[in-house]
Amino acid sequence: MTDRSKKNILELTHCTIGEYRQLHKLPLRLMADNVRSAQNVGSMLRTADAFLVAEMVMAGISPVPPSPEISKTALGAELSVAWRHVPDAFEEVCRLKDEGVRVYVLEQTHNSVPLQQLRLPSLQEAPAGMLLVAGNEVSGVDQRIVDIADAAVEIPMHGTKHSLNVSVSAGIALWEFYRQLHEYIL
Burial of residue 68 (CB within 10 Å: 0-12, 13-18, 19+) is exposed
Give the count of alpha carbons within 13 A of 186, CB side only: 7
Query: How far are the Cα atoms of 3, 13, 107 from residue 134, in angstroms, in the given order?
Result: 39, 28, 8
Give the model's pLDDT for residue 179. 97
Q: Indicate the pLDDT class of residue 13, thresholds 50, 70 and 90.
A: confident
For domain 19-184, the CATH class is: alpha beta
Q: Report domain extents, the chain.
A: 19-184
- Asked if residue 145 has pLDDT above 90, the reply is yes
The Cα 32–Cα 43 span in angstroms is 11
Helix (H) or strand (E) holding 111: none
Mean per-residue pLDDT for 139-159? 98
Q: Indicate the pLDDT class of residue 164, thresholds 50, 70 and 90.
A: very high
Q: Indicate the pLDDT class of residue 1, thresholds 50, 70 and 90.
A: confident
For the chain, state the CA radius of gyration. Answer: 16
Give the model's pLDDT for residue 184. 83
Nearest C-alpha neighbor of 56 from the set 136, 149, 134: 134
pTM value is 0.96
